[in-house]
Structure 1
Amino acid sequence: MKRRNFVATAVAGTAGMMAHSATAKKNDSQRTFSLKNNIKHSVCQWCFNDIPLEEFLKILNQLGVKAIDLMGPKDWPLLKKYDIHCSMCNGAEISLTEGWNDPKFHEQLIKNYTEMIPKVAEAGYTNLICFSGNRRGMNDYVGLQNCVDGLSQIIPLAEKHGVVIQMELFNQVNHPDYMCDNSLWGVELCKHLGSDNFKLLYDIYHMQIQEGDIIRSIQNYHPYFGHYHTAGVPGRNEIDETQELYYPAIIKAIHETGFDGYVAQEFIPTWDDKIEALKDALLRCDV
């Protein structure tokens, strides 16, 4: 092919592809947002806390998202008004850094969880978050045994009320010194406690930073994972092509384990339209 003819043909082809791409984007923008709901979708409200909670709940109703994460008792009546489930309750913990690995916090934590577990059950919810706390020079094995000693005192109550206590995994970049910072430590804690009413909140963002190999971890340890959080790496922003994780494959791996709990979006939106960012994330996870 002569160069002149080649260039002309290439330009025409490029123009055609651009026109097709523009049409596809227009069609996508006009497409009705709809979820298959093979995965139970949830959203962490704190990532969208510049939107008043009641307004945000109305938006979730419009999107067909039926759950929200990390809400305490004071907000539960409003959730019930809009028929939004609290997929991860909070309010019993002291803090992320002061947790079950330190016996000096056990008395307060046992009191808090003993009061909160019946409230969670009475409200019709299941999951209640907890934290290991920071090491502060403590050996990981000592900290694990301390967690067992403390949590063992509330697990029977959780079993009685059908509440699942879930300890979240964090990375050392965002949460330096936090003890429950890897899957194996968390799984070992689950094994020591030996109860279906204690699980791990597997935060995909945190564990990609801390240990990687996300899909293999899900396949190997999914019986111990009771809840999932999402976010893009690096930056904790949208889960689109701007980051290194491919969420459709990750969510597919979760779905293939038979998981019937919730996957909650916990990314911090950077798009001008935060709800469009949320819709995009939900569709990427709607396997």
Structure 2
Amino acid sequence: MFKFSANLSTLFQDRPLAERIAAARASGFHAVEMWFPYDVPPARLRDTLLAHGLPMIGINTAPGNVNAGDWGLAADPRRRSAFIESLHEAFEYAQVIGCPNVHVMAGIVDASLSHEAAWDAYRANIDEACGMAARHALTVMIEPLNSVDRPTYLLTKQQQAIALIETLKRPNLKIMLDLFHVQRGEGNLIERMLASLPYAAHIQIADVPGRHEPGTGEINYPKVFEALQSAGWSGWIGAEYFPADGTQAGLGWM
């Protein structure tokens, strides 16, 4: 039996955060995750999670200035100080709320930088992040995003993430395996998923196109779940999709 987590940044968006947690519990989810929880004091979020008996299993580092085009800070060597600050913020927050995994966002390749310079900065920054996270018994997750929706994002391929993990040899460095991004950006979903599975800490799901709930697009999720079961996946599967017609109406897949 699979364990499903509700992503509170995409589901139950018609409610305040505390009510989203309650709704996730009432809807049958056994954990939650979210992108950026930093608008809520960590102690308050911790208490709300405890009140509903749900763990928070994943958060992201802060993305930077989204309005200016940021989507992570690790790929820009000129912003190392801001990146380190984002690590301290995320890891301290994760400790308070009891969250074991932090997705350290790669970021875009700035037009003034070469791809090689961006990758060198990213590799060094992820190595630093793993060292910091290990002191707090936290896992660093990296997530390739598809180049259709994020054409300037640095990390776009599963094989890039696998190669980085094998290069750095950090035991607390894992992939956040987002099946929406795999299908939209690379295709050959089940084969790529199975290749990445040994490196993965977490799986996220949404359908293609539209990034709606499973069953609304081209991905054969019954076959995907069958492959995951055959492979012995026992970790969490995060529902990170934008409901086509309201969260409750779209939960039949689960």
Same fold? TM cut 0.5: yes
d(CA) in 1 for partners of 2:122 and 2:250? 38
The equivalences for 1:10-29 within 5 A come to none
Q: Match of 2:118?
A: 143
Q: Match of 1:211?
A: 186
Alpha-carbon contact 1:114-1:154 (below 8 Å) kept: no
Instruction: Give the counterpart of 2:48 among 78, 83, 92.
Output: 78
Matching of residue 87 in structure 1 with residue 57 in structure 2:
yes
Cα-Cα RMSD: 2.1
Alpha-carbon contact 1:57-1:79 (below 8 Å) kept: yes
Alpha-carbon contact 2:179-2:193 (below 8 Å) kept: no
The equivalences for 1:79-158 within 5 A come to 79-94=49-64, 97-137=71-111, 138-158=113-133
Instruction: Give the counterpart of 1:243 among 203, 217, 240.
Output: 217
Give the superposition deviation at 1:197: 1.2
Cα distance, 1:53–1:97 mapped onto 2, change above 3 Å: closer
Q: Match of 2:4?
A: 41
Q: Which moved more, 1:138-147 or 1:220-229?
A: 138-147
Q: Which moved more, 1:146-155 or 1:110-119?
A: 110-119
Alpha-carbon contact 2:213-2:242 (below 8 Å) kept: yes
Identity, in percent, stands at 23
SS in 1 for 2:128: coil
d(CA) in 1 for partners of 2:141 and 2:223? 24
Q: Match of 1:182?
A: 157
Q: Residue 185 of structure 2 aligns to which amino acid in structure 1?
A: Q
Give the superposition deviation at 1:216: 0.6
Q: Which moved more, 1:184-193 or 1:73-82?
A: 73-82
d(CA) in 1 for partners of 2:93 and 2:176? 20
Q: Match of 2:249?
A: 276
Cα distance, 1:56–1:116 mapped onto 2, change above 3 Å: closer
Alpha-carbon contact 1:98-1:105 (below 8 Å) kept: no
Normalised TM-score (structure 1)? 0.76
1:156-176 residue CA offsets vs partner (Å, 9 max, x unmatched)? 221122111112221122212
Give the superposition deviation at 1:232: 1.3
Give the superposition deviation at 1:53: 2.7
Give the superposition deviation at 1:129: 1.5
Q: Residue 257 of structure 1 aligns to which amino acid in structure 2?
A: A
Q: Residue 186 of structure 1 aligns to which amino acid in structure 2?
A: A
Matching of residue 68 in structure 1 with residue 32 in structure 2:
yes
Q: Match of 2:142?
A: 167
d(CA) in 1 for partners of 2:28 and 2:37? 22
Cα distance, 1:115–1:44 mapped onto 2, change above 3 Å: closer
Structure 2: 5+ residue runs without aligned partners?
none
d(CA) in 2 for partners of 1:268 and 1:114? 30
Cα distance, 1:175–1:76 mapped onto 2, change above 3 Å: farther
Q: Residue 220 of structure 1 aligns to which amino acid in structure 2?
A: A
Instruction: Give the counterpart of 2:174 among 199, 209, 212.
Output: 199
Q: Residue 142 of structure 2 aligns to which amino acid in structure 1?
A: M
Give the superposition deviation at 1:52: 2.9
Which is greater in Rg?
A: 1
Cα distance, 1:51–1:114 mapped onto 2, change above 3 Å: closer
Give the superposition deviation at 1:122: 4.0
Q: Which moved more, 1:115-124 or 1:174-183?
A: 115-124
